[in-house]
Structure 1
Amino acid sequence: MWTNQPYCVYQQLKRDGIFNCDPHKSILLKETNFQNAYRWMINQMKSKIGDPPKNVKVPIWAWYRSKNYQHCRPDFRWSHFRWSQDYEDEVCMEIDIPEEQVLLSEFEGWHFVLGNSYLSPAMNHEKYQRLNDWFDSLTPKKQQRVKEKSWQQIFDITIRRQDKWTMNGEMVQGCFWQLKRDQVRKVWRLKKDARVREIN
């Protein structure tokens, strides 16, 4: 997989041999919708891959498929990923994490969790409308249960590229608890206004 992190994270990893995400330094965790979505994902990770190591509170995120159903690192020239450069100086690390320690999920589907929205399993417009009308008829308490159950679909990353209704798995993210120095294979430094270069 590939994870983008501030350059200081890479320096810490080289120094200490291990990196755990500090929730107090996360830009995204300042927002309520991200806090709720992370809480849900953390519970899924505990259920599907096991509890985190001691003192680890939140997961590290990485790309498993970055575009067009391809298992490849993000293309630094591809404009869609420019939003991911959150820091003036950051790295993209190619990492090798044991499969049983990673929870993969569909990136587009994840946005339904972030938006606290119902993820309909519909495969056509008619069924989509029918299911959403049914969902709207439920009580708020029942809606929340149905929404959370619908989010399990994001863990199906099967490639089914047929039409706009069956395009799950095009972009896949991976969550894991911690990163060790010996799990890093390659490192590229992405510094603002400087050429991308491999540093490890």
Structure 2
Amino acid sequence: MIMWTIQPYCVYQQLISNGFFYCNPNKSENLKHPDFKLAYQWMTKQLRARLAPPCNQIITPLWARYRSYAYHYQRPDFRWARDYPDEVCIEYDIPEDEVLLSDFEIWHFVLNDWYYSSATSEKEWEQDERRFDALSKVEQQRIKEESWQQIFDITLRHGEWTRNGDVVQGCFWLLRLNQVRRVWRMKEEERVHEIYSV
């Protein structure tokens, strides 16, 4: 499957030098962010349950995009994909059994530690919220984490209450140089340009 990951340029340099790259948790900005730490730990736990890491020293997944807005399989729009002053967008081909796909919009319920209702109407949603609010804190946490499993349903659906699979992200353990198809460099004050292509 074709995916795209945005990484600092130094990651690309490591990939060229070593032939592979995996996340160093000590250098991950998102893992340092106190509001995101628990959500990223939860996703890592899900990945471990579904896909065993290739070796013991890999403990934190990498993130990539699989489907962009409006249900399209295409690389990210470089106008909005700026996370670092000097970064690359790496297009790569990875076996499906090495990736855990999830709905990017629903991921925000995990990031914000919110319950995700499966309601399909306003009436259902109000009833669901009342039931949830009536639970004990311990039970709310259990039900909330169960509700997050819906993040892994990326079935294409759209409607007022059923939008799903519009933007899909993927987590994986290891990026190998032989999987890379194309690389674009995005550096502040410079035009985006392709620096690698097979």
- For the pair 1:89 / 2:80, whether they are aligned, the reply is no
Report the TM-score when normalising by structure 1: 0.94
**Percent same amino acid among aligned pairs?**
54
- Residues 46 and 52 in structure 1, CA contact (< 8 A), matched pair in contact too: no
Q: What is the letter of the counterpart of residue 129 of structure 2? A: N
Q: Which moved more, 1:42-51 or 1:167-176?
A: 42-51
Deviation at 1:52, TM superposition (A): 4.7
**Are residue 157 (structure 1) and residue 148 (structure 2) matched?**
no
Q: Residues 126-172 of structure 1: CA distance to partner in whole angstroms, max 9, x if unpaired?
A: 000100010000000000000000000010000012x2311110000
Give the RMSD, CA atoms, in angstroms.
Answer: 1.0
Q: TM-score, normalised by structure 2?
A: 0.95
Instruction: Quickly say closer, same or farther: Cα 1:37–1:52, change in 2 above 3 A.
Output: farther
Closer, same or farther in 2 for the Cα pair 1:89/1:173, shift >3 Å? Answer: same
Alignment of 1:191 onto 2:179 = no
Report if the CA contact (8 A) 1:58-1:177 is conserved. Answer: yes
Secondary structure of the residue aligned to 1:105 is strand
1:88-128 per-residue CA deviation (whole Å, 9 max, x = no partner) reads 10000001111001000000100001111100000110000
Offset from partner CA, 1:23-78 (integer Å, 9 cap, x none): 1111111122311111111111111122452211210000001111011111213x
Runs of 4+ more than 4 Å apart? none
Q: How does 1:168-187 map to 2 (within 5 A)?
A: 168-187=164-183
State the match for 1:12 in structure 2.
14
- Equivalent residues in 2 for 1:41-190, closer than 5 Å: 41-77=43-79, 81=80, 84-161=81-158, 163-190=159-186
In structure 2, what residue type is equivalent to 1:153? Q
Cα distance between partner residues in 2 of 1:40 and 1:188: 31
2:24 paired residue among 9, 17, 22: 22
Of 24-33 and 4-13, the range deviating more from structure 2: 24-33
Separation in 1, partners of 2:61, 2:28: 11
Gap runs ≥5 in structure 1: none
